[in-house]
Amino acid sequence: MPDSAPALHSVRVASRRTGLSPDLLRAWEKRYHAVAPTRTAGGQRNYSDADIERLKLLAQAVAAGRQIGQVAGLSETELRALAAADAPHLAPPDPADANEAVATAFLSGALAAAEEFDASTLEAILRTAALRLPSDQVLDRVFGPLLLAIGTRWHEGTFPPANGHLATTVIRRVLNWMTDFPLVPDNAPRIVVGTPAFQMHDLGAMLAATAAASNGWRVTFLGASLPAPELIRAARMANADAVALSIVHPTDDLRVASELRALRAGLPGHVALVVGGAGARSYAGVLDEIGAQRLPSIAALRSWLRQRLEKPVDTSPDVP
């Protein structure tokens, strides 16, 4: 009597059994040839038991800190040996470790989709990450590292400009969606976020806006290169408690320094001014001079936002 045909499983079943999202499965298959599922006449993917076992082993390797590109070409025997070697060195699992492994998988899948010029997969992976991971972790472990990797590879000449533009367009769209997602009460503190004049890169500001929204602040996002008078006007119209700026490039620009001085001079005294971004350090002198807070990371901004929520300052209007 002939052997029965091997069991085949849909994408949904494969996703549930491996813990990998359907979009991540697709990215691993397309970019790294992790598995080669069969397809139905209608083009739907079917996974064998062996495919699912291999995907589980790959997920374990990624969870142990390896990049998917480093392990996707290994045989099942090699993957099992790797898992056995890793096991004694892994701490007992806890929710934070599980989230870190998931974030690493999302990051690798997102970068693969960007490299493949696959906007739909990239957006699906980022949206799924935003829904599955806590907001702090998705910004710190997925969006931030993804932007850094894209920027680094672009400067090295290994990431085509068109791919970079596609990726940042998708990232911008997902961050906008995330900023609008939290339900923030009307009486929450208010923050205006953007970049000063002559600063054209606003993705760092978008990360800051998303962090503020997810930490209970009402956000007004203004985008890039706004002159000091307009930032002042926006802060007054929004009844802002704080203005947050991102500075990337150019660094050590006298025009930007002048804008920062003008902004602080024109803002009401109770409105805090916080500045971050890769280029903020070059303006440390002027920031100290005007009493602005320099925050070196999104994590530092998050801490500052939470402290202000716990200990609000006097926001009564200045007396002329």
| Each residue's pLDDT tens digit, 127-148 | 988 988 888 999 999 999 999 8
- State the Rg of the chain over Cα: 23
Is the per-residue pLDDT at 296 higher than 80?
yes
Contact 212, 191 (CB under 8 A): yes
What length does the chain have?
Answer: 320
Is the per-residue pLDDT at 320 higher than 50?
no
In the chain, the amino acid numbered 304 is W
Nearest to 139, CA basis, from 109, 103, 185, 189: 103
Give exposure, 113-122, as e/b (b: 16+ Cβ within 10 Å). bbbeebeebb
The mean-pLDDT minimum among 47-51, 131-135, 260-264, 308-312 falls in 308-312
Q: Report the predicted TM-score, pTM, of the whole model to 2 decimal places.
A: 0.70
Q: Please, which pLDDT band fits residue 6 given cuts at 50, 70 and 90? A: low
- The CA distance from 175 to 159, in Å, is 22
Residue 250: asked if its preceding bond is cis (omega within 30°), the reply is yes
Q: Please, which pLDDT band fits residue 5 given cuts at 50, 70 and 90? A: low
| Domains in the chain, CATH or no CATH each | 8-177 (1.10.1240.10), 186-310 (3.40.50.280)
Q: What is the mean pLDDT of residues 5-22?
A: 81
- The CA distance from 228 to 258, in Å, is 9
* Diameter of the chain measured on Cα atoms: 96
- The CA distance from 153 to 147, in Å, is 10
24 DSSP β-pair partners: none
| Each residue's pLDDT tens digit, 200-253 | 999 999 999 999 999 999 999 999 999 999 999 999 999 999 999 999 988 989
Orientation of helix 119-132 relative to helix 161-180, angle to 10°: 30
Contact 248, 278 (CB under 8 A): yes
Nearest to 27, CA basis, from 102, 103, 145, 116: 116
Q: Enter the DSSP assignment of 271.
A: S
Q: Please, which pLDDT band fits residue 319 given cuts at 50, 70 and 90? A: very low
Is the per-residue pLDDT at 95 higher than 80?
no
Is the per-residue pLDDT at 290 higher than 80?
yes
Distance of CA 233 to the CA centre of its chain: 30
Instruction: Give the pLDDT confidence score for residue 98 in this predicted structure.
Output: 63
